Structure 1
Amino acid sequence: MKSVTRSLRILEAVAQHQPVTVGELTKLFGLPKSTVQRTLVTLAEAGWLRANRKDTTRWEIGARVLAVRPAALQGSSLFAAAREPMVRLRDAVNETIHLSVPDALDGMVVVDRVDCDHPVRTFHTIGDISPLHATAVGHVVLAHLPRRDVEELITAGLERFSDTTPVDPAELRAELDRVRTDGYAVNRNQFRPGVCAMAAAILDEDGTPLAAVAISMPDSRFDEQHAPKWGHLVADTAAEITQRRLGA
């Protein structure tokens, strides 16, 4: 139990002081450097911590921490701004609506969901992680990131999940250009077979993508003719959440 308590305290310290080095944590807790390093690696392997992308000697919490207790989000500006527009979007299309946040370039983490009333519907568990290059929520985030980040993701390798997964770098770049033009992304079976989605990005004051809101549905209910209309609906919802969060 001592190791569990130590791990939780180190997790809390990282959250408070991030991005923080092993040396700083060692001084803070008075523990051997090897012990702190081992704990950090274990927490990172479990998905709770990650190395800072700009300085890999420093550690920070990952977005997955938000999945521990979704109710904790209720006091956040993102959750408060997103919930009502998500419910209205669900009522307008009667499909599952979900909110996801990026965990650096490692993936998108589902942090909230509003279900539809169809007996057959898509289901995203809070805390589910999906890849950026193979999802609508990932594409809208990538479309608003610096191009160097997109190239970093491409260099790391684009895993294929289905026949429609964009694994060719040129194809992915072209798709992101389309997202920038249209304001929303469409995913048809790119990650999970039989699952489609349309998504748009929620932005910070400087245009940084903080999250993405998506309409998700079974492929059997995906209607190509309705895609532009629903794409604009989800884009309008994302814009409203952005404005509400910024107090506009």
Structure 2
Amino acid sequence: MGSSLQKLFLSALLVAHTGLSSASVGTPTPAAESSKPAAVRSSFVTLDIPYEPTYDPTAGGIGLFISKNLFEVQAPPNYALTGKMGATINALYSLGDATEGDAYMDITFDVLLPHCDFCGPFASDLVSTGRDGLLTRTDGGMQFVANESAASGMYSRVLVYNIVVASLPAWSGYIQFQSMTFTAETVALPLAASPVPELPPAALFGLGLFALGIAARAKSRKRLPDSAVSK
């Protein structure tokens, strides 16, 4: 994704376990549906979250991969976030020695509205949630697309808390995550009224003299007798 497009947004922060990394995002793309009035028509932005952990189960492991992540999204200039979001994760996998069963993964998320600029998830209100979705597997790869959360607000900043869960049917094989992508719905803010352009002092001085001249002529015209005024 071009760097010029990324500059339209403030960087989103990803907290993966205890580490921090940045997420690149794109420009608003018009939504497929156009039933809304132009003033409130929605667009979507894409957030590509760096996410490439590997689940490699061992006999001493817990048998289940769980990853909790938190990142921040700020609305681009002249746009607001509605709180409606979607999520997709992709991974490669191998079943190893397993003779039955299959690999599994999913993602759930909460969209949160922080109480202040410096507030985190524990000082936030729940805006929407993403639960359930569709898992597809093809030739050693799988993709999970979460159902979109439902919201219709107008926010300048939200937090997204998500949990990724994955499992394998045996103590062998692996799951290599390839990507995590979120989409966020935005709406354009009403444009402010354009300010009246200011004239330079010299132009204002000229206009002032012109106005004074008109006033003087009108005043002298009133003092002349009616017979002296040309028809």
Larger Rg, first or second structure (1 or 2): 2
The structure that is helix-richer by fraction is: 1
Q: Which of the five TM-score ranges fits, normalised by the shorter chain?
A: under 0.3
RCO comparison, higher one (Cα < 8 Å, 6+): 2
With normalisation by structure 2, the TM-score equals: 0.28
The structure that is strand-richer by fraction is: 2
